[in-house]
Amino acid sequence: MPLIEDMERTGSWLFRWRSFLPIVLMPVALYVAFLDDDFPYFNDPRWIFICLSVGFLGQIIRAFTIAYVPKGTSGRNTSEGQVAETLNSKGMYGYIRHPLYTGNFFMWLGVVMFAGNLNFTIAVSVAFWIYYTLIAMTEERFLRGKFGEAYVDWASGIPAFFPRTLKWKSPGVFFSLRNVLKREYNGAFAMVLSFAGLDIAHNYRAGVIVLSSFMQALFIVSLVAFLVLRFMKKRTKLLDVEGREYT
């Protein structure tokens, strides 16, 4: 099998399981945070603020992406593989071809930074881009086959992961906060839970099993928001928005 096809086959497999990356990453991050006693700033409020800011930057990127995504969008996956009824080309997709992956990178970069080990942060960053480049190759092959010249024309002027300009262009549809809340509450809570776990690992190394006061407050607020939004999604239609993606 040619190398490019082998890489795309690997990317297709990774695409199906990309949501489970944190399950693999977090045990390693907790191990690093527990063992590494060379980083003295884990409980410094300034360092916590920096790491959380990086993580929430990723969440903001994802929110601005999802807020303008129409129903039947490209880039979704099912048990049968990738599906798409329309090609994403507006909103964040007018700046980069894979904004959700860029958002994921910053979300989990903030988490691994909080583990407090430079080598671990560099290693995860390199592995992340290899991982998502393989996924993006497979996704782009699918979209090229699905949408043909329309995809090629759009993709030829849009960088893959990082924008050339930050000047905002209107996507022509309204910002749907309800769609963001419906689709992002799981990921946002998982990120906060990861920060809380690392905070416990750092403190346990110092001799106590406890969350710092700030992390306690952040975790409680996030947990309440998670439970409320989960109830609203599962038991009501309050977060449904006509013409927007619900998966």
Q: pLDDT per residue over 69-99, tens digit each?
A: 766 564 455 444 555 667 777 788 889 999 9
Average pLDDT, the chain: 82
Mean pLDDT of 104-110: 94
Mean pLDDT, to the nearest integer, of 133-144?
83
Report pLDDT digits (tens) over 148-160: 888 888 888 899 8
Helix (H, G, I), strand (E, B) or coil at 175: coil
pLDDT given for residue 206 in this prediction: 66
Is the pLDDT at 134 greater than 50, yes or no? yes
Nearest 5°: phi and psi at 244?
-115, 160
Which pLDDT score is estimated for 78?
A: 46
CB neighbours of 129 closer than 8 A, spacing ≥ 6?
105
pLDDT, tens digit, 9 for 90 and up, residues 22-34? 677 888 888 888 7
Using pLDDT thresholds of 50, 70 and 90, give the confidence band for residue 111: very high
Q: Is the dihedral of CA 189, 229, 89, 78 positive or negative?
A: positive
Please state the pTM of the whole predicted model. Answer: 0.84
- Classify residue 34 by burial, with Cβ atoms within 10 Å: 0-12, 13-18, 19+: middle
**pLDDT band (50, 70, 90) for residue 10:** low
pLDDT of residue 225: 97
Residues facing residue 178 across a β-bridge: none
Q: DSSP label at 91?
A: G
Q: Which of 50, 54, 31 is nearest to 41 (CA)?
A: 50
User: What is the rounded (10 degree) CA torsion for 65, 67, 73, 77?
Assistant: 70
Distance (Å, rounded) from C-alpha 170 to C-alpha 151? 20
Strand ranges (E), 11-169 = 76-78, 81-83
In this prediction, residue 1 carries a pLDDT of: 46
pLDDT band at 12 (very low <50, low <70, confident <90, very high): low
**CA angle, residues 173, 16, 188, in degrees to nearest 5:** 55
Q: Given this model, what pLDDT does residue 17 score?
A: 57
- What top-level class would CATH report for the domain 3-174? mainly alpha
Identify the three-state secondary structure at position 244. strand
Instruction: Name the residue with higher pLDDT: 116 or 51.
Output: 51
Residue 72 has what DSSP assignment? Answer: T
CA distances (Å), 139 to each of 42, 108, 135, 175, in order? 38, 21, 6, 25
pLDDT for 52 equals 95
